[in-house]
Structure 1
Amino acid sequence: MRLVGFAAGVGVVLVLSGCGQSVDGQPEVSGAPLTKEQLFDPCTVPESALVAAGADPASKDDNPFSVPRAEWKGCGWRASDFFISIFSTTYTMEKFRENTLLRDFQEVTVEGRAGSQYLIGDRNPPEECGLVFASGQGTITLQSSKASSSDSTVDPCLVLNNAAPHFVEVLPK
């Protein structure tokens, strides 16, 4: 059942992944593209950050893709009527901006960290929101997705903006 709530957010991952094709302009370490092993592992986020962000550590989904993705690592948790997901990827912030599934990008600063906020999909009102940050361990995106079973009218960006400060401090720079 948890996978249903992650489906749309994972759809972003699948659209960006392009069936495993290589992508120009990937984050690099010492001039070489990052490998999956070099990406930040979102499942290592401390329980204290999850609790502070309103997520239930016991609801952890460490396999939000169902099948391995060479360019991604991800983890997600239930947070009341929403899912909070964290992904790291070899794809650049520019690739996020080029993705037609993502829209309404806004430059933001969260706890002193520059990033971009975006909406996922074309639903109005939106049911998913994301924040993307560059890091030395890949591009990191935080996402808030309304659970399919929820009738909440809360803006997913509000949920994400309230949760993000608790995660930003533990994400790699």
Structure 2
Amino acid sequence: MRLVGFAAGVCAVVALAGCSEAVDGQPEASGAPLTKEQLFDPCTVSDSVLQAAGADPAKKDDNPFSVPRAEWKGCNWLAGDFFLSFYSTTYTMQKFQENTHLHDFKDVTVGGRAAKQYLIGDRSPAEECGIVFESSQGRITLQANKASSSKSTTDPCAVVNDAAPHFVEIIPK
């Protein structure tokens, strides 16, 4: 049952990766293409960071896409009624904002670092929210996705905003 909720979060990433819409051109970062090997590895988060953010280090999924994705690296962890997903990608911020599955972008600052917060999907009230950061090792996104079995009325943006300060220090500049 909880996999269904997680699957919805992966759908947001898969949609961004181009499974539901075409993405023209080559992924770029700062004008120069990155390879998957050059991306930040989100799965290297320490247990102490995860615990401080409310995630359970023992409830880790290091294969969130089920099949390899050339443009993405990522892991997620169960965090109460939500999954916290931490991804890096070669896609540009522009590609994030062009994705019709992601919407309501707004500028935010987390730990002194500029980022963009966004909602995922078309549910009302929203069940998924993310924050994306620019980085020398790709765009780094942290998402909170409500577990399908959850009866929580907590706003997923509140969850991701509470967790983000614990992750921001490990995100490359």
Instruction: Report the TM range for the smaller structure's normalisation.
Output: over 0.9
Alignment correspondent of 1:26: 28
* Contact 2:2-2:149 at 8 Å conserved across structures: no
* Contact 2:27-2:34 at 8 Å conserved across structures: no
Shift of residue 2 of structure 1? Answer: 5.0
* Contact 2:134-2:140 at 8 Å conserved across structures: yes
Backbone CA RMSD of aligned residues: 1.6
Shift of residue 34 of structure 1? Answer: 0.4
Unpaired stretches in structure 2, ≥5 consecutive residues: none
TM-score of the two chains, using structure 2 as the length reference? 0.93
Shift of residue 26 of structure 1? Answer: 1.0
Distance 1:144 1:124 in 2: 15
Distance 1:34 1:2 in 2: 33
SS where residue 18 of structure 2 aligns? Answer: helix
The 5 A counterparts of 1:34-49 are: 34-49=34-49
State the percentage of identical aligned residues.
71
Alignment correspondent of 2:107: 107
Alignment correspondent of 2:121: 121
Shift of residue 22 of structure 1? Answer: 5.9
Unpaired stretches in structure 1, ≥5 consecutive residues: none
SS where residue 75 of structure 1 aligns? Answer: strand
Alignment correspondent of 2:171: 171
TM-score of the two chains, using structure 1 as the length reference? 0.93
* Contact 2:103-2:120 at 8 Å conserved across structures: yes
* Contact 1:42-1:74 at 8 Å conserved across structures: yes
SS where residue 143 of structure 1 aligns? Answer: strand
SS where residue 57 of structure 1 aligns? Answer: coil
Runs of 4 or more above 4 Å deviation: 19-22
The 5 A counterparts of 1:64-83 are: 64-83=64-83
Alignment correspondent of 1:5: 5
